[in-house]
Amino acid sequence: MRSLLGMKGGRYDKEESFMYTASDLRKGLKVIIDNEPYIVTAFEFSKPGKGQALYRTKLRNMITGLTIDRTFREGGTFEPASLEERAMQFLYKEGDQYHFMDNESYEQIVINEESLGDAKNFLIENLNVEVLLFRDRAIGVELPNFVNLRVIKTEPWARGDTSKADFKPATLETGYVLRVPPFIEEGELITVDTRTGEFSKRVKE
Amino acid sequence: MAGNWSLAKRKKTLQQRARIVQEIRRFFIETGYLEVETPHRIPSPAPESHIDAIPSDMWFLQTSPELCMKRMVAAGYEKIFQICRCWREKERGSLHLPEFSLLEWYRAGGDYHSLMEECERLIRFATRAIGLSEKIVFRSHEIDLSRPWERISVNEAFRRYSKTSMTRALEQNLFDEAMVQEIEPNLGVDRPMFLYDYPAQRGALARLKPEDPAVAERFELYIGGLELANGFSELIDPAEQRERFRIENKNRQSFDKTVYSMPEKFLAELHNMPPSSGIALGVDRLVMIFLDVETIDDVVAFTPEEL
């Protein structure tokens, strides 16, 4: 489905705050449902003959990461989920608590491991990230697309072994395990694509 | 190389679409129908709860040619068809365009069951004429078009495919949700299917069944889970039609929607209409099914977003 460009969108409710209506629903829209922020990940318009318009969606909870199916009727309204992004630095991890510092105010905040999702695999000390805040509550982080991480454990490459020539497992300093080319050795620094979680290249030091 | 790639790559589809439309025309001409044209822009559409018209300089763009075509039947045009553009506000999805092509035909005499047969004949004629076999493939699934096509009542469809009953779905105001989520995906999967006898409130212009006034003599044709056509035995009692429109408008008011003016000229002429049946078929969707195309966007030259 292409985006619904050119269609009138949204309206103002009695308290004069901007609301989306069901016909504004589209992929990527962020809305509040049951007081939590959701992002629309799939969308389909249906209308049984002579019946009402139904908007079938898949929504991902931006706090828990869980996906739900919801069908909305015409006329339903939604509060937009406005998320604030703030530049912060990752300081350290304590149990399942991750500590960050605001680059401008030096204020420190804590995000738990569950809210970080896959981002926890790539957080190393002093990494600059964008922390997402929903109603002043930190709910996740946006990482740079590429992060350099050190390999702390991987099997040495047995020369001449062509049986599993393409890839071998490696453990990174964050505990994340991924597949790397056989020539990568323990102690080396590699670049990882945080969007896919895959090996990108070896870093020359 | 052509500059507009998405338009250029639809060329074969649009050529085949033109052939399908030409063959539909040929079917009606050969079976004695008169092709008619009625205005696209009208003072007011027929009031129906969930069909919204696009305003056009104090009037509206038609949501279907129904009222004008019925006035023609009432005036003695016994077998008529039309292929035209219709507009419905805010309908947009992989099966919906706010501007789309509708084939509509009416004939004096015959009820909705005889119309189902004619529908079978038309679609089988068109498939043969464009060189398709009796078994077509849509969305990786084979659909057998040989006769007879299955006919099941809406009540029966709920029994087969839904966790709830039709009566309960209506009581709980979840009829549309059950249709879309549970029932429709199962309809017309292996062969085309007619779903018939809708709850009376789902057919504002359809005749009620004489032996069961809770049910309207209305049907929908499904092929491959897609709703393709909607037909019924026409309601020809002006007083009852006026009351049904009043209820539809009352619903519209409760949904905060535009209330449409009573189509007085249509109502005044309705008593001249002989017992008739009529049907509207989505041409874009028929092309999708025949050519195994995934979205409605790919069977038209331009979507609204591409203008």
By Cβ distance, the residue of B48, B184, B304 closest to A6 is B304
Tell me if A97 is assigned to some domain. yes
Tell me if A99 is assigned to some domain. yes
pLDDT reported for residue A139: 86
Tell me if A4 is assigned to some domain. no
- Cβ contact B203–A51 (<8 Å): no
pLDDT reported for residue B2: 53
Name the domain boundary from A80, A101, A122.
A80
Tell me what the pLDDT averaged over chain B comes to.
96
Query: Do A158 and A101 fall into the same domain?
Result: no
pLDDT reported for residue A8: 42
pLDDT reported for residue A10: 63
Name the domain boundary from A29, A57, A80.
A80
Tell me if A2 is assigned to some domain. no
Please state the rounded mean pLDDT for residues B289-296.
96
Query: Do A137 and A165 fall into the same domain?
Result: no
pLDDT digits (tens, 9 = 90+) for B142-180: 999 999 999 999 999 999 999 999 999 999 999 999 999
| pTM given for the model | 0.80
What residue numbers bound the domain in which A137 lies? 84-142
- Cβ contact A75–B180 (<8 Å): no
By Cβ distance, the residue of B180, B230, B305 closest to A5 is B305
Which residues lie closer than 8 Å to A119 by C-beta, 6 or more apart? Answer: A129, A140, A141, A143, A194
ipTM field: 0.89
Query: Do A76 and A88 fall into the same domain?
Result: no
Query: Do A119 and A178 fall into the same domain?
Result: no
Q: How far is B227 from A160, CA to CA, in rounded Å?
A: 62
pLDDT digits (tens, 9 = 90+) for B232-274: 999 999 999 999 999 999 999 999 999 999 999 999 999 999 9
Query: Do A155 and A174 fall into the same domain?
Result: yes
- Give the CATH number of the domain where residue A76 resides: 2.30.30.30
Tell me if A6 is assigned to some domain. no
When mean pLDDT is compared over A132-136, A157-161, B273-277, the highest value belongs to B273-277
pLDDT reported for residue A5: 35
Q: Using an 8 Å Cβ cutoff, are A110 and A101 in contact?
A: no
HSE (side-chain half, CA atoms, 13 Å) at B79: 12
From the list B290, B274, B271, the residue with the least C-alpha distance to B282 is B290
Residue A192 pLDDT greater than 50, yes or no = yes
Residue B190 pLDDT greater than 60, yes or no = yes
Domains along chain B with CATH numbers: 5-306 (3.30.930.10)
Tell me if A5 is assigned to some domain. no
Mutate to test the interface with A, among B90, B166, B205, B230 (most CBs of A within 10 A): B90
Residue B3 pLDDT greater than 60, yes or no = yes
Which residues lie closer than 8 Å to B239 by C-beta, 6 or more apart? Answer: none
Residue A187 pLDDT greater than 70, yes or no = yes
- Give the CATH number of the domain where residue A158 resides: 2.40.50.140
Q: How far is B85 from B82, CA to CA, in rounded Å?
A: 10
Residues of chain B whose C-beta is under 8 A from some C-beta in A?
48-51, 90-96, 175-177, 179-181, 184, 198, 202-204, 220, 227, 230, 255-256, 295, 297, 303-305, 307
Query: In chain B, whose CA is at the least distance from the CA of A54?
Result: B177
- Cβ contact A46–B95 (<8 Å): yes
pLDDT reported for residue B17: 98
Query: Do A94 and A133 fall into the same domain?
Result: yes
pLDDT digits (tens, 9 = 90+) for A59-84: 999 888 889 999 999 888 888 988 89
Q: Which amino acid is at B182?
A: E
Q: Which amino acid is at B12?
A: K
pLDDT digits (tens, 9 = 90+) for A95-121: 999 999 999 999 999 998 888 888 999
Tell me if A1 is assigned to some domain. no
Q: How far is B20 from A183, CA to CA, in rounded Å?
A: 60
CA of A35, closest CA in chain B: separation in Å?
A: 24
* Portion of chain B with pLDDT greater than 90, in percent: 95
Please state the rounded mean pLDDT for residues B191-197.
98
- Cβ contact A48–B184 (<8 Å): yes
**A157 touches B at CB < 8 Å:** no
pLDDT reported for residue A9: 54
Number of domains within chain A = 3
**A71 touches B at CB < 8 Å:** yes
Residue A168 pLDDT greater than 50, yes or no = yes
From the list B28, B13, B40, the residue with the least C-alpha distance to B284 is B13
pLDDT reported for residue A17: 74
Tell me if A183 is assigned to some domain. yes
**A75 touches B at CB < 8 Å:** yes
